């Protein structure tokens, strides 16, 4: 499609929607038998897991709102578009199954950029055993939009909602928080040429990677659901403070968090401190940390211990409790204060 001397091929000039769909179909891995009709017909047809409930979620990445192509490569965007949806499936205790990809492409978007985006997306889909079953391609007169819908499966009574928590349940969070926020702040503090280079600091590099390519906690979510090791679960897409507040509200409880125990990424904490910001406040308001917050009742202790042994390498930190008193508290240096707020989209 790239003719000599024509420069970088652009979509509008060099290929049609059909050509692009054919290009994507050629790159799809062999379909599993559950995909009865794959891309290329009016719709996809799949065989749902027998006896299971189905989880449905959708999440979009919009250029200029959720990503900046000076700071993230097309492959990063492709990865993240799927990752944020997988995070939702994990938060429900499910196993991801099928994905639909809805691309809205500006005329300035190159074929090469689309290929890279698909590289990032298919690499994560392959690792996560998610089948891209179909999708849609449209022109965008504005930003690049990567919108996805993903299905997952979970057994009846194994689904994890936000509302199942009870007073006394211990709250845990996976991984480390604040990293994605620090990574994005670092990128914004650079010129775009510098931003695409690695920093000298391995810790900050890790933060940048958390922003660009969050790792959905698919294995943890599926294990917590399958083992019924948690009473409630949700992801941290809008920050830990917001997640705690929403889980408590949905469960009809309050919550108390210990600031000393929060698993703040050390390089993020250092970055916040260097910029005269309080690491606890910043990590709590966070956003873009695709970790899981979950509640473990005392009677699930054995099951939970079994899960912790199966997620080697991923830290699960006890950060507080759900409480019968309906307020959301943060205990800081022995003083009990109101928890600061979460991320507001508009």
Residue 22 engages its own copies in binding (rule: CB under 8 A): no
Beta bridge partners of 139: 105
- Contacts with 50 (C-beta within 8 Å, 6 or more apart), sequence order: none
d(CA 230, CA 104): 38
Residue 336 engages its own copies in binding (rule: CB under 8 A): no
CA-nearest of 91, 117, 344, 327 to 239 is 344
Residue 273 engages its own copies in binding (rule: CB under 8 A): no
d(CA 242, CA 264): 16
| Cβ pair 235, 291 in contact under 8 A | yes
The total number of residues written for the chain in this structure: 346
Question: Among 65, 196, 306, 310, which residue sits at the site for its own copies (rule: CB under 8 A)?
Answer: 65
Minimum CB distance to its own copies, residue 8 (Å): 16
Minimum CB distance to its own copies, residue 92 (Å): 5
Whole-angstrom Cα Rg for the chain: 21
| Cβ pair 93, 156 in contact under 8 A | no
Minimum CB distance to its own copies, residue 43 (Å): 4
Binding mask 238-257 for its own copies (x = CB under 8 A): ------------x-------
CA-nearest of 327, 331, 307 to 319 is 331
- The interaxial angle of helices 111-128 and 74-91, nearest 10 deg, is 30
> Could you tell me which stretch among 88-96, 119-127, 166-174, 300-308 binds its own copies (CB under 8 A)?
88-96
> Could you tell me which stretch among 11-19, 182-190, 254-262, 304-312 binds its own copies (CB under 8 A)?
11-19
> Could you tell me which stretch among 134-142, 188-196, 278-286, 330-338 binds its own copies (CB under 8 A)?
134-142
Minimum CB distance to its own copies, residue 55 (Å): 5
Binding mask 68-87 for its own copies (x = CB under 8 A): -------------------x
Which residue's CB is nearer to its own copies, number 64 or number 126?
A: 64
Strand ranges (DSSP E) for 227-312?
232-235, 254-258, 292-296
Which residue's CB is nearer to its own copies, number 164 or number 279?
A: 164
Q: What DSSP state is assigned to residue 40?
A: T
Give residues in contact with its own copies (CB under 8 A).
Answer: 11-12, 15-18, 20, 36-37, 40-48, 53-60, 62-66, 87-89, 91-92, 94, 98, 100-102, 104, 133-143, 145, 147, 149, 151-152, 154, 159, 161-163, 233-235, 250, 344-346
């Amino acid at each position: 499609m790239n003719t000599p001397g024509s420069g970088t091929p652009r979509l509008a000039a060099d290929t049609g929607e059909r050509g692009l769909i054919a290009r994507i179909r050629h790159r799809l891995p062999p379909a599993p038998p559950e995909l009865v009709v794959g891309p290329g017909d009016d719709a996809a047809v799949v065989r749902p897991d027998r006896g299971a409930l189905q989880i449905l979620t959708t999440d979009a990445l919009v250029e200029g709102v959720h990503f900046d192509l000076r700071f993230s490569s097309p492959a990063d965007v492709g990865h993240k578009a799927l990752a944020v949806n997988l995070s939702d499936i994990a938060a429900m205790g499910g196993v991801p199954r099928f994905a639909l990809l809805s691309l809205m492409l500006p005329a300035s978007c190159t074929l090469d950029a689309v290929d890279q985006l698909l590289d990032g997306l298919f690499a994560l889909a392959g690792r996560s055993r998610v089948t891209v079953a179909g999708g849609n391609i449209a022109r965008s007169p504005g930003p690049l939009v990567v919108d996805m819908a993903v299905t997952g499966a979970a057994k009846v009574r194994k689904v994890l909602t936000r509302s199942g928590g009870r007073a006394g349940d211990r709250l845990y969070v996976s991984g480390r928080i604040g990293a994605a926020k620090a990574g994005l702040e670092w990128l914004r503090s650079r010129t775009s040429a510098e931003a695409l280079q690695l920093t000298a600091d391995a810790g900050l590099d890790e933060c940048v990677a958390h922003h660009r390519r969050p790792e959905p906690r698919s294995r943890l979510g599926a294990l917590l659901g399958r083992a019924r090791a948690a009473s409630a679960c949700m992801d941290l897409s809008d920050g830990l403070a917001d997640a705690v507040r929403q889980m408590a509200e949905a469960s009809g409880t309050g919550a108390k968090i210990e600031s000393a125990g929060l698993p703040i990424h050390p390089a993020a904490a250092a970055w916040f401190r260097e910029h005269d910001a309080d690491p606890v406040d910043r990590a709590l308001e966070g956003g873009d940390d695709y970790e899981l917050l979950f509640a473990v009742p005392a009677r699930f202790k054995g099951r939970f211990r079994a899960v912790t042994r199966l997620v080697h390498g991923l830290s699960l930190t006890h950060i507080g409790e759900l409480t019968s008193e309906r307020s959301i508290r943060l205990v800081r240096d022995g003083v009990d204060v109101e928890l600061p707020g979460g991320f507001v989209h508009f």
